[in-house]
A and B are shown apart, each in its own frame.
Chain A
Amino acid sequence: MRGWGISPSMAVVAVLIVLTLLGAWRYDGFLSEYNVQSVLRYNSMFALVALGMCFVIMTGGIDLSVGSVAAFSSVVAAHLSGYGLLAGLLGGLGAGLLAGTLNAVIVTRLKILPFIATLATMLAASGTALLLANNQSVSVSYETGFVDLGQGDLLSFMRPEWVDGDNAGVLGGILGFILSFPTPAFIALAAYIVAGIVIGHTAFGRHILASGGGTEASRLMGLPVDRAIFFAYVISGGTAGMAGVILAAQFGAGQPIEGIGWELFAIASVVVGGTLLTGGKGSIGGTLAGALLLGIIFTILNFENGMGWISLSAYWQSVVRGAFLFVVVVLQAKLSLRQEA
């Protein structure tokens, strides 16, 4: 856990590479600029939610409300998008932070178990989202540039024409790829870099891990345990809020019923990335690797579906995903138990 707080287990990275190669070999267009970018664009939401979850899990807690908080934030952002990009962004983010603060207060002040506290917030956020949205999706304004947060490519204005020409070559391909990197992926990447610095290089970050690794020991050395836990939940709310903003911008509408199962996806990403569910030991880089790994696996599932060998309805896909995530979490629990022994 030194350096930039990035030390994902090499296994995750290895599997990531193997699966990418497998996908490239088996499916046409798997590594095409379009596919890579849409995978990144879509999964940046999950990566953000997983990042916040990572903070909470490091303290030994859990945040089950992330999915419905994202849905709630997407509705708020959609409503405010007409007042400008910034209004939508800050509105959605603020809604997430508000929900996160609510979790934080319930967990640290009222001393309610995180599982119960965030379960209640999950229901409340979901209900509020449906109320605000009047039980349907809320379309965003296309005039204020808000949708660029989800659909845009941040650096595309710099893209020179020759990159798309016939003689672009490898260099052009790489440059084109970088310059068309989707905006949401930039947001997620920036968040991960900041988080890596916070966890690895600030007193607050070390206190978060200490609080999870030895709560009583931390209290006895005077560490602000409650404050660390408080902000972990606020951060998780914030990242869920940001994911909600991207959700609304990407699909052109606030989605009050989205977000089901996001918490499991986030927990799985965190756990696959080597963070202990009991807290105290964790990795920001590992969480990013975990989120990417899950994203690629589901992309492969989609491609496989598209090839016609297997044909899974959306419902069956849900079942497969759930089963897969369950296996991942159980495996990790077994592995870490063995390490402890």
Chain B
Amino acid sequence: MQAISKSFGGIPALSEASLEVMPAEIMALVGQNGAGKSTMIKILNGAYVRDSGTIEFDGGPWTAGSPQQAQRAGISTIFQEINLIGYRSVAENIFLGREPRRAFGLLDWKKINDEAAALLARFDVRVDVRAPLEHFSTAIQQMVAIARAVSFAAKLVIMDEPTSSLDEAEVDVLLRTVRQLKAEGVSVLFVSHKFDELYAVCDRVTIMRDGKTVAVTPMSDISKLQLVASMLGRELDEVAKKGATAFKGGTGNVGGELLAAKGIAIGHLVRDANLDVRRGEIVGLAGLLGSGRTETARAIFAADQRAAGDVTFDGAATRFKTPAEAIAAGMGYCSEDRKSQGIIPGMSVAENLTLALMPALTRSGLLDEAKQREVVERFIKEIGIKCAGPNQKIRELSGGNQQKVLLARWLCMNPKLLILDEPTRGIDVGAKAEIQSLIRRLASDGLGVLMISSELEEIVEGADRVFVLREGRTVAEFDHENLTEGDIMRAMAHDDAEDRRQAEGASTSA
């Protein structure tokens, strides 16, 4: 794939990106959220049409009109969500859509079952192929999906985060299958955020950032740390704080403990997350995509139920069942998905700002509209929300101003803790600085802030303390003093060299 470009509604998702996979090669594809990985995959397998660029496949120019066409030509895609039918048998799923038939169009069940069993045996999977697919573990279902892909005489198998819902033993089985594919001469494009897996099976790695291909290198030539630095686009030498963000002032005003979360676990995504926030403190939560940052935050806010772990908030152990209970206790949460989990697009600025506050604005059953207007106008002025007026529809506002409305939605309820998930994502530079200085101002007034951000700069400069999550576990805690982006990247990457240094440090000090 050469010089592939694609934009959606004028916004470029890919600009001249390239990708190359050799026969029988396992190529890793990595990048942050929005780097363009999935767009690239979808162009390759025919789900999207490219704006420009050339693709060659199997010795000739190639354009897939649809995923089905790509599959017939030998490009199969396996998604993290298994795209099969749970109620039907394993064998049926493998042959779905091209079932072997006998005379009169009747299905040849014996052939279906025998061939399916033989196919799976190649990957060391021995199961009753007549049993419904849903009776088996996710890993087996994943194998069945792979077997299905291979049975199309696939020359290239694209795997999009195939291990995200597997446990460790299952991951091993899957990786063995990937190697088996390679041994049979099939190429694999492997998308994952788990570096150990990439190093375990991949020959080369393609790193994407901001819609471009920024590096292609043999896996053995790049350290985890270099990989992370390249993904995030940061320099490896320890960058000093440059003051590029608008988090001014310092940590003068930090009070006692406000929130403590211990041993949070939810499914496979969060296994052991630990963090705490003090009053008047901005705590950063860093981690790569898939590290469980958002899931941890949602569990604390009771948007999802945690499987294990203790949360202490405002001096009391809590077990909130709904966000409403968390809010009543003094929490607020701004989702990273502003569009579908933040704003109510069809409603006005005033309503979006006061929806949660409305019961408090009600007098003898009716909304006190004078009071509502007073609250709205106060926050529009205080936070500097740029809008035509309180009655303007929120969807007409810029991203930055929408975010300010969402912040005001919580601030008008006087929370003790605000959880901000990517508070400045997709927001232009000017509004970004305003939001950052607002967050700092709120913290110095005593609000506790838990801030999730993919921008290391924001975390390093903005947070008083930083927790780093990797694969659902808290792996590091840093203080603001002398913290560099390198420190955080090392923790995210699980850099072996760092481990060794620590081990040596421990042994010399012992």
A interface, CB within 8 angstroms of B:
2, 197, 201-203, 206-207, 209-210, 213-214, 216-224, 276, 280-281
Contacts and interface: CB of A to CB of B under 8 A. Distances in A.
Nearest to B369: A201
29 contacts: A2-B391, A201-B366, A203-B358, A203-B359, A203-B361, A203-B367, A206-B351, A206-B358, A206-B367, A209-B347, A210-B344, A213-B344, A216-B340, A217-B335, A217-B343, A219-B323, A220-B303, A220-B323, A220-B341, A221-B323, A221-B355, A222-B322, A222-B323, A222-B327, A223-B355, A223-B356, A276-B346, A280-B347, A281-B346
A195 B327 CA distance: 29
B408 to A, nearest CB: 12
B432 interface: no
A157 to B, nearest CB: 32
B342 interface: yes
A281 to B, nearest CB: 5
Contacts of A276: 346
B328 interface: yes
B362 interface: yes
Given A206-B367, A221-B327, 5 more contacts: A213-B344, A216-B341, A218-B355, A219-B323, A280-B347
Interface of A is mostly: helix
Contacts of A222: 322-324, 326-328, 356
A224 B355 CA distance: 11
B345 interface: yes
Contacts of A220: 301, 303, 323, 333, 335, 341-342
A211 to B, nearest CB: 9
Interface in B295-351: 301, 303, 322-324, 326-328, 333, 335, 340-347, 351
Nearest to A221: B356
Contact of B345 (A206, A214, A216, A223): A214
Q: Closest 5 interchain pairs by CB?
A: A203-B358, A222-B324, A222-B327, A214-B344, A213-B344
Contacts of A216: 340-341
Contact of B347 (A197, A203, A210, A219): A210
Contacts of B179: none
Contacts of A217: 335, 340-344
B473 to A, nearest CB: 25
A304 B351 CA distance: 47
A202 B328 CA distance: 20
Interface of B is mostly: mixed
Contacts of B409: 221
A206 B333 contact: no
B59 interface: no
A42 to B, nearest CB: 33
B324 A224 contact: yes
A147 to B, nearest CB: 34
A278 to B, nearest CB: 10
Nearest to B340: A216
A202 B362 contact: yes
A203 B363 CA distance: 10
A222 B359 CA distance: 12
A245 to B, nearest CB: 26
Interface residues of B, number: 31
Contacts of A213: 344-347
A202 B344 contact: no
B365 interface: yes
A218 B346 CA distance: 13
B98 to A, nearest CB: 33
Contacts of A280: 344, 346-347
Interface in B41-72: none
A220 B327 CA distance: 9
Contacts of A206: 351, 355, 358, 367
Contact of B366 (A197, A207, A281): A197
A9 to B, nearest CB: 15
B356 to A, nearest CB: 4
B15 to A, nearest CB: 25
B366 A202 contact: yes
Nearest to B367: A201
Nearest to A200: B367
A228 B145 CA distance: 42
Residue from the set A202, A210, A221, A281 with the largest chain B CB neighbour count within 10 Å: A221
Contacts of B324: 222-224
A280 B351 CA distance: 13
B351 A203 contact: no
Contacts of B342: 217, 220
A310 B365 CA distance: 53
Contacts of A219: 303, 322-323
Contacts of A207: 355, 358
Contacts of B345: 213-214
A222 B365 CA distance: 20
Nearest to B338: A217
B18 to A, nearest CB: 33
Contacts of B366: 197, 201-202
B212 to A, nearest CB: 30
Contacts of B328: 222
Contacts of B365: 202
Interface string B32-48: 00000000000000000
A207 B324 CA distance: 14
Contacts of A202: 362, 365-367
B9 to A, nearest CB: 10
Nearest to A278: B346
Residue from the set B301, B322, B344 with the largest chain A CB neighbour count within 10 Å: B344
A174 to B, nearest CB: 32
Nearest to B361: A203
A298 B341 CA distance: 43
Contacts of B346: 209, 213, 276, 280-281
Given A2-B391, A210-B355, A223-B355, A218 B362 contact: no
Contacts of B367: 201-203, 206
A214 B369 CA distance: 23
A207 B367 CA distance: 12
Contacts of A197: 366
Contacts of A209: 344, 346-347
Contacts of A214: 340-341, 343-345
Nearest to B410: A221
A33 B354 CA distance: 47
